């Protein structure tokens, strides 16, 4: 299930739980706006004011306020300078032919939106230490799942909202032996004893079309005989593809 679809389910849950007075048609439109990028067919079936479905999650060209928000926030939080100025686009945008359009002179701002996003993926989201912490958190949650039943909450909006950072503290402070392995992984993160980054390989552009994702098995099968032999569970491989949201297209 995509996070957009869970957002729509959460909205339903909030409206029901708090008896919010809202017209069913309005609620339907709001949910369709949320899932527009993950379910383009829904938005394409809309006959009137199609542009409204490009504001929050733009499945048509990827220019939306969601990116405006997280790019600005993440750059500031990580101390990364950003030349992208979302206000310039907001001031110049107009609806023409049922589509949100921008002045031709603002093409550089559009370009910076996508290049800044790509830079964040390269320098922050897929940074070796960020990936190490991410992999360790996943391992800790998997270890804790059988005892805490984390995955049971993943599809129920009534429980899903409870799955926030407090779950890490719950694992750390739990006295149960069942959570010992999960707790040890979290404590390793606290001590900065992270999974070790070994190597990376940038695939040449002319090889991309025929290059298959590398697996842990590939790495293990490629090792030269030595005193230490790695097993598949010792290796984590992260295959990363970073583009301007449209693959090879500009």
Catalytic residue among 3, 18, 127, 210: 3
Angstrom distance (rounded) from CA 159 to CA 150: 10
Angle, helices 65-77/107-120, rounded to nearest 10 degrees: 50
| CA separation for the pair 48, 112 (Å, rounded) | 31
CB of 57 within 8 A of CB of 4? yes
Long-range contact set of residues 231-237: C-beta below 8 Å, sequence gap at least 24: 236/135, 236/195, 237/213
Do 195 and 215 contact (CB within 8 A), yes or no? Answer: no
Rounded distance, CA 136 to CA 93, Å?
A: 43
Token reading at 225:
């005989």
Distance CA 89, CA 94 (A): 10
Catalytic, 3? Answer yes
Question: What distance in Å separates the CA atoms of residue 136 and residue 195, rounded to the nearest whole number?
Answer: 7
- Which residue from 151, 149, 135 is spatially nearest to 179, judged by alpha carbons? 149
* Helix, strand or coil, per DSSP, at residue 100: strand
At 229 the three-state DSSP class reads coil
Measured CA to CA, the distance from residue 129 to residue 125 in angstroms comes to 10
Catalytic residues: 3
């Amino acid at each position: 299930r995509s996070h957009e679809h869970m957002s729509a389910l959460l909205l339903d849950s909030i409206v029901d739980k708090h008896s919010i007075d809202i017209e069913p048609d309005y609620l339907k439109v709001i949910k369709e706006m949320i899932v527009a990028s993950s379910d383009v067919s829904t938005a394409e079936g809309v006959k009137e004011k199609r542009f409204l479905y490009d504001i929050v999650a733009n499945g048509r060209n990827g220019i939306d306020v969601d990116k405006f928000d997280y790019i600005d926030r993440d750059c500031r939080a990580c101390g990364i300078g950003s030349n992208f100025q979302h206000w310039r686009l907001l001031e110049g945008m107009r609806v023409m032919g049922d589509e949100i359009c921008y002045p031709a002179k603002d093409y550089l701002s559009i370009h910076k939106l996508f290049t800044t996003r790509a830079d964040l993926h390269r320098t922050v989201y897929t940074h070796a230490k960020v990936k190490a912490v991410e992999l360790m958190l996943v391992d800790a949650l998997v270890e804790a799942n059988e005892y805490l039943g984390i995955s049971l909450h993943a599809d129920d909006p009534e429980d899903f909202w409870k799955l926030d950072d407090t779950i890490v503290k719950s694992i750390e402070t739990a006295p149960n032996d069942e959570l010992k392995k999960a707790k040890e992984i979290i404590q390793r993160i606290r001590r900065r004893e992270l999974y070790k980054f070994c190597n990376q390989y940038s695939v040449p552009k002319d090889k991309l079309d025929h290059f298959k994702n590398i697996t842990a098995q590939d790495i293990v099968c490629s090792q030269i005989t030595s005193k230490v032999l790695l097993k598949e569970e010792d290796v984590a491989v992260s295959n990363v593809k970073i583009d301007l949201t449209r693959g090879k297209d500009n």
